[in-house]
């Protein structure tokens, strides 16, 4: 196994790069049973952010994977769910509107497109079944099919299956020519959307009794990219779905441009479809095991000896309960944690005091804090020598708090050293509440990665259920792996290398935001602005509100305007932000409004915490400025917060300003 082989295995982090047959690469997610594929005929609407595994799931459910040549044993019950995958070409779909063509023409044209795509997929699914290990139908059965009755739609439709498939593919080519040259080409005869597909299925089931009870499920991917009229047409199909043809959707959050149908009624969750949020993991329990399984599956083709997983178990719904067993989970997690070890808080603090550069920076921070309070700087050594490492790291922040005197802090240090009740580890828990923020300050502007961003558990938290981000962290980290090339096992990657990889991933993903839909450039700018604001908060000397990575609009403030609201929904759609219920009020135990969490995958770039700890309450006017303000307005806002939080930016400019300066130099 070579290093290049490992990198290649993790470089493919998109389902589109793996082809339509993903049977050998797929790991069933913990929520798979919630799909109720064996006992429901209700459509599903699958929702999740970019990179969370929607496309991979849909391709697993499609006939290419369900009846894969690689699948040695296929139960007869697979015929009850024949999946048809359709991802509309975004650019092509966007062409099918305006250009002085009546709306009803485009509506009929889109229905024709659906008839062709679904018709071809239905015929392809029969080929998949015939060539699979199931052996319920043969090539001879397919050759005997007679589609003559479809000529009611068009007299030139072929009777045979091979002829019909070729005909539909040729119609697709002619249709694409017409759409691209709509004013200069003759309009083709349109087939009637789902009605053609349904009639095709009925003729197949009539002639192939072996498929009795079969239901075809159409999975329409990237639904959010379709035009509003196209969504309205598909909504109608979903609302009126019934066996043997069921329509399902997959989309990003806030993907509905409309819930209207061609009739008077609109789509309604639960009544018309079953919503499935595929990011609704238990992030502490389910996602780490799932991520570990995927990571270990990825390295198997490289010859890595992994005896804690069985690919057949990972693909079989019958083994989902086994995979939830604590002993199984512990074996899986132990192997991945060995490769991506973490470092304890105590070890992090010990490194600060044992490393000459970090110790000097900590001492300088203590001295500056002493000076700011009017104390003599010669007390810095006493605080460093007498405090335990974790306490020493947070001393600079404690010294900045007017409510605490130097004598108060020294007294608590002595109690800590003597094992007496103290405020460092007691109910006040200074260390727990302040350590991460203070550690990040020591590494700020140093030019070396902070090991806080290392460890398998940390990778899971930064990924926050996003498999693409997790795989990218694995890819960049294993590229740094040091081991014996002849070994059959994965080597251990140091925490420094892991942290460097995390920083590289965050840096690489940041410019990708520009490609996030029509507002990509604005989302990129907003991300830089919000991340810079959290970075400012992170550098506050007192750390009175550490680890701010989410915000809410201040209570009592007017709401942001409709333009800004639409923008926030777009940020949530693309997972730049996550929307969560607000913190519960103690007196009512009710959620207080809505909070918006910055995607933690970007935290190493902004040098902030990946944890959701403290909230920043912003006036609606400040949120509006961050979203749409010009450079001068945003700069003024950040300078106001800099002054409010007493942040010195001499050594570490804000990411926003550093990014702008880099762009200007280039």
Q: What ranges do the domains of the chain cover?
A: 30-277, 286-342+454-510, 345-443, 516-665
Closest CA to 437 of 608, 569, 561, 574: 608
Q: Is 12 helix (H, G, I), strand (E, B) or coil?
A: coil
pLDDT in the model for residue 366: 93
Residue 532 to residue 598: CA distance in whole angstroms: 11
CB 362 within 8 A of CB 397: no
> Average pLDDT of each block of 10 consecutive residues along the chain (666 residues)?
52 61 89 74 90 91 95 90 90 84 92 96 98 94 96 94 97 93 89 94 96 94 93 95 94 93 90 88 85 88 67 85 89 92 95 94 93 88 78 94 92 90 93 95 91 97 93 89 61 92 96 94 96 94 91 82 94 94 59 86 96 93 95 93 87 64 44
Residue 150 to residue 147: CA distance in whole angstroms: 6
pLDDT in the model for residue 663: 45
pLDDT in the model for residue 281: 76
pLDDT in the model for residue 665: 43
pLDDT in the model for residue 44: 93
pLDDT in the model for residue 390: 94
* Six token digits for residue 552: 């809410």
pLDDT in the model for residue 39: 62
φ/ψ of 591, rounded to 5, equals -65, 140
Q: How far is CA 433 from the centre of its chain?
A: 28
Angle between helices 430-443 and 345-354 (to 10 degrees): 50
pLDDT in the model for residue 479: 82
pLDDT in the model for residue 588: 44
pLDDT in the model for residue 34: 77
């Amino acid at each position: 196994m070579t290093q290049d082989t490992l990198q290649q295995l993790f470089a493919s982090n998109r389902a589109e790069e793996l082809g339509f047959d993903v049977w050998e690469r797929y790991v069933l997610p913990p929520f798979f049973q919630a799909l109720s594929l064996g006992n429901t005929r209700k459509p599903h609407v699958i929702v999740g952010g970019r990179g969370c595994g929607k496309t991979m799931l849909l391709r697993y459910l499609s006939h290419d994977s369900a009846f894969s040549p690689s699948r040695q044993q296929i139960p007869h019950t697979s015929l009850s769910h024949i999946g048809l995958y359709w991802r509309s070409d975004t650019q092509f779909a966007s062409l099918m509107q305006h250009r002085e063509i009546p709306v009803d023409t485009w509506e009929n044209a889109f229905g024709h497109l659906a008839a062709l795509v679904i018709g071809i997929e239905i015929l392809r699914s029969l080929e998949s079944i015939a060539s699979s290990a199931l052996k319920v139908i043969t090539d001879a059965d397919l050759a005997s099919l007679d589609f003559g009755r479809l000529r009611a739609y068009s007299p030139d439709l072929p009777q045979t299956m091979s002829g019909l498939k070729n005909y539909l593919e040729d119609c697709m080519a002619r249709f694409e020519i017409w759409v691209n040259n709509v004013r200069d080409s003759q309009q083709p005869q349109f087939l009637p959307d789902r009605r053609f597909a349904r009639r095709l299925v009925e003729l197949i089931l009539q002639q192939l009794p072996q498929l009795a009870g079969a239901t075809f499920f159409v999975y329409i991917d990237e639904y959010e990219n379709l035009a509003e009229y196209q969504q309205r047409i598909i909504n109608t199909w979903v609302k009126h779905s019934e066996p043997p043809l069921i329509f399902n959707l997959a989309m990003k959050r806030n993907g509905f441009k409309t819930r209207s149908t061609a009739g008077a009624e609109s789509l309604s969750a639960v009544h018309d479809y079953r919503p499935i949020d595929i990011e609704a993991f238990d992030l502490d329990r389910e996602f780490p095991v799932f991520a570990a399984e995927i990571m270990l599956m990825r390295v198997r083709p490289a010859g890595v000896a992994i005896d804690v997983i069985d690919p057949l178990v990972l693909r079989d719904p019958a083994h989902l309960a086994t995979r939830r067993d604590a002993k199984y989970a512990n074996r899986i997690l132990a192997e991945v944690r060995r490769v991506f070890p973490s470092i304890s808080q105590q070890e992090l603090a010990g490194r600060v005091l044992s490393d000459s550069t970090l110790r000097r920076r900590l001492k300088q921070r203590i001295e500056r804090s002493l000076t700011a309070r009017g104390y003599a700087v010669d007390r810095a050594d006493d605080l460093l020598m007498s405090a335990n490492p974790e306490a020493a790291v947070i001393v600079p922040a404690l010294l900045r708090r007017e409510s605490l005197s130097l004598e108060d802090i020294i007294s608590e240090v002595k109690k800590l050293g003597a094992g007496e009740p103290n405020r460092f580890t007691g109910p006040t828990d200074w260390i727990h509440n302040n350590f991460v923020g203070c550690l990040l300050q020591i590494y700020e502007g140093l030019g070396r990665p902070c090991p806080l961003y290392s460890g398998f558990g940390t990778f899971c938290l930064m990924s926050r259920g996003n498999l693409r981000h997790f795989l990218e962290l694995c890819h960049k980290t294993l590229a740094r792996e040091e081991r014996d090339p002849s070994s059959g096992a994965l080597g251990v990657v140091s925490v420094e290398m892991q942290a460097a990889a995390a920083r590289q991933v965050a840096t690489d993903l940041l410019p990708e935001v520009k490609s996030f839909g029509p507002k990509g450039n604005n989302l990129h700018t907003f991300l830089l602005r919000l991340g810079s604001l959290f970075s400012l908060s992170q550098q506050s000397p007192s750390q009175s509100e550490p680890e701010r990575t989410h915000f809410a609009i201040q209570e009592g403030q007017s709401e942001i305007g409709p333009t800004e609201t639409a923008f926030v929904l777009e940020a949530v759609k693309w997972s730049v932000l996550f929307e969560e219920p607000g913190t519960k009020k103690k007196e009512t135990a009710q959620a207080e409004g809505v909070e918006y969490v910055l995607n933690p995958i970007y935290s190493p770039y902004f040098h902030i915490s990946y944890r959701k700890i403290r909230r920043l309450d912003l006036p609606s006017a400040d949120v509006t400025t961050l979203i749409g303000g010009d450079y001068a307005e945003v700069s003024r806002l950040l300078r106001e917060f800099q002054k409010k939080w007493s942040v010195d930016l001499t050594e570490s400019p804000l990411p926003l300003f550093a990014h702008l300066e880099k762009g200007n130099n280039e």
